[in-house]
Structure 1
Amino acid sequence: MKYRTRTVQVPGVHVVDGIPAPVIRTEQVQEPIPPRDWDATALRAVTTLVVLLTLISVAWSTASIAHLLGAGPIGYLAATVFDAAWITALGMTYLVRHRPDRRSTVDRLGWTLVAVTVTAIGVEGWQTGGAATACAGAAVSLIAKGLWWALGRATRPSLSDLDSQWLAARLSALAAQRAAVAMQRQVVREQARLGEFAAGTRPAGPTPALDPGPTRPDPRPGGGVDPGPEVEPAPAPQQATVAPATESTPAPRPAGRPALHAVPDQVDPARLAQARAIVAELRAEGIEPSTEQIRKRMRIKRDRVRVLWLAIQAEEAAEQTRTA
């Protein structure tokens, strides 16, 4: 057996002064030379020769049929259809090489196309040189097709009956999977189109909400729902409101602004506690509390200060009523 020398790079470790470092070593190795595959060499040579002869056949048949048609450049384009057709059928034969039923159909089509080409070349040869020219010219395409048919028969694998059945079943299962994938892809496309169509036909405004059923009636005036029989609420304890002596008469409320009252939902507990502390400071300093005095120290809007001051006055009045 013959050997050949080949240079390879092997990773390793090199140590200098006790410190290792990764390196790549270059080494020469001997490896056996595999024997030449003469079968593969012969197949490449035969295939190359057949392709070369086919190209010559295509050139000859194209020129002959174009001369028969006599239409100039357009005639040459039309003449290429004859050879291109049976070469296409030749490619189909390779694709269905493992399916005997389909291969027979493609083979019949290929031979039919070759017969049409041979007939056209024979007619052109009969017109130009007689029977000998017609037969010789027609045999060119017939030889090229015959070589491809023989090459396919020589390289086609031979399978037993059981192997053929197993292969057919396997190919059928794979074909079923491919069909399912293709159908699933089509369904996904259709669903996407339906989604786009639904999005395009949806109204631009807000989608009306569905009626959730009977709801609680709105007792406010103009609520749009009959509030039913009104239930008189329990009377709230009366609170006397005492206006401060130094409080000036407030300016008339502008039109459109709602009146403010010292009700719990309008009073912030933290603000109210701060206002109580400021009122106590003012009284300790001998200053009569008022809306303006409280606003200066809290630095908030006058309307909010008025609400807080009214709430404090209401608390003081209630306290005085309880202690009286």
Structure 2
Amino acid sequence: MKTRSIERTRLVPHTVDGVTEMVLDTETIEVPAPPRDWDQIVRTAVTIGATLLVTVALVWSTSAIGGLLAMSVVAVIAYAAGVAFDLTWIMCMAVEWLLRSDPERAKAPRRAGRWALAVSMAAVFAHGYVFDQMVVGAVGAAVSALAKGGWTIAMRVHARPLDSRTQQWVAKRRAALDGKLAMIPIQRELQRGEAVLDAERRSLTSDPDRGSADPDCGSDPQSGSASPLPTLAGPMTVKDAVRTARDSGITDPDAVLRYVHKVADANARPDTVGRYLRSA
């Protein structure tokens, strides 16, 4: 039986000059070695092999399709566009892997990946056809198919199939969680909307001159008087407005001028209001 050495630390009493303390003691012991997990080793090897296949397919397709497109555009742009062909079905496989526990949602990326693979293979074959190397084009197109097949097998190795009832249970739990997650941006949007409406409501109902929601009554905070301004009963001249403000206890010229602009004449001159205020 195979064994392996491990170090074990424990507390042991140690006495010096009659004083005993607990100290750490390290010892090496032999324990049975677990059997090699060949399943995990093979699973890892399959994953590495599939990754290498996808990398080779990406490089080959980019080279072939980029060479084809370079006949009409700049080489840098052509090869950059060539990456998109294989990268599309690779992305679809990645999404399919993320949705492996949701077969219904995984159908769309699986179908899209197959179409993207077909387009990529056709482009690689077209490269060989244009350069009178149809055999090379056909073999090169098969590289992408082999890579996708290898990655599909790797995903099946890592897959954990669920029975119908367990799948329904997972779907219900995911739906409940997705509903809560979906409400986060919705609630944030509603809160922003409420804040905008509240700000708009305050701007329409507030009086910047007097700080009152009622434009016809209330006190003027800058007038030096807490007496309420009179309610308007009809047209008023500048002189009457000055007298009314003075009778209401407003003595500050700026406050009187604002009141005159509001109830009598919006174009009343400050010197006119001041003259009426001095004679009131």
In 2, Cα distance between equivalents of 1:185 and 1:18: 71
TM-superposed deviation, 1:17: 4.3
Figure out how many residues of one structure are paired with residues of the other and give that number.
219
Of the candidates 105, 110, 120, which is equivalent to residue 102 of structure 1? 105
In 2, Cα distance between equivalents of 1:85 and 1:196: 47
| C-alpha spacing 1:175/1:209, structure 2 compared with 1 (3 Å) | closer
| C-alpha spacing 1:15/1:118, structure 2 compared with 1 (3 Å) | same
* CA deviation string 1:238-296 (max 9, x = no partner): xxxxxxxxxxxxxxxxxxxxxxxxxxxxxxxxxxxxxxxxxxxxxxxxxxxxxxxxxxx
What is the match of residue 173 of structure 1? 176
Greater Cα shift, 26-35 or 100-109: 26-35
| C-alpha spacing 1:135/1:21, structure 2 compared with 1 (3 Å) | same
Q: Tell me, yes or no, if the aligned pair for 2:9 and 2:26 is still in contact at 8 Å.
A: yes
State the structure with more CA Rg. 1
| C-alpha spacing 1:66/1:28, structure 2 compared with 1 (3 Å) | same
In 2, Cα distance between equivalents of 1:197 and 1:209: 14
What is the match of residue 51 of structure 2? 51
TM-superposed deviation, 1:87: 1.2
Q: Tell me, yes or no, if the aligned pair for 2:43 and 2:157 is still in contact at 8 Å.
A: no
Question: TM (normalized to structure 1)?
Answer: 0.57
What is the match of residue 140 of structure 1? 143
TM-superposed deviation, 1:223: 8.7
What is the match of residue 63 of structure 2? 63
What is the match of residue 159 of structure 1? 162
TM-superposed deviation, 1:15: 4.2
In 1, Cα distance between equivalents of 2:30 and 2:189: 57
In 2, Cα distance between equivalents of 1:29 and 1:184: 60
TM-superposed deviation, 1:22: 5.0
In 1, Cα distance between equivalents of 2:130 and 2:101: 43
What is the match of residue 78 of structure 2? 75
Query: Where does the alignment leave 5 or more consecutive residues of structure 1 unmatched?
Result: 217-221, 226-324
In 2, Cα distance between equivalents of 1:194 and 1:209: 17
Query: Where does the alignment leave 5 or more consecutive residues of structure 2 unmatched?
Result: 220-225, 228-245, 250-280
| C-alpha spacing 1:117/1:23, structure 2 compared with 1 (3 Å) | same
Q: Letter of the 2:85 partner, please give it.
A: F
DSSP-derived class of the 1:5 partner: strand
| C-alpha spacing 1:205/1:36, structure 2 compared with 1 (3 Å) | farther
What is the match of residue 24 of structure 1? 24
TM-superposed deviation, 1:134: 2.5
| C-alpha spacing 1:208/1:73, structure 2 compared with 1 (3 Å) | same
* CA deviation string 1:148-206 (max 9, x = no partner): 12222333222221122112112212212222334344445556777888999988888
| C-alpha spacing 1:207/1:73, structure 2 compared with 1 (3 Å) | same
| C-alpha spacing 1:58/1:16, structure 2 compared with 1 (3 Å) | same
The Cα RMSD (Å) is 3.5
DSSP-derived class of the 1:159 partner: coil
TM-superposed deviation, 1:91: 0.9
Counterpart mapping for 1:236-315 below 5 A: none
| C-alpha spacing 1:194/1:19, structure 2 compared with 1 (3 Å) | farther
What is the match of residue 121 of structure 1? 124
| C-alpha spacing 1:224/1:54, structure 2 compared with 1 (3 Å) | closer
| C-alpha spacing 1:165/1:138, structure 2 compared with 1 (3 Å) | same
DSSP-derived class of the 2:9 partner: strand
| C-alpha spacing 1:15/1:84, structure 2 compared with 1 (3 Å) | same
TM-superposed deviation, 1:26: 1.8
TM-superposed deviation, 1:67: 1.1
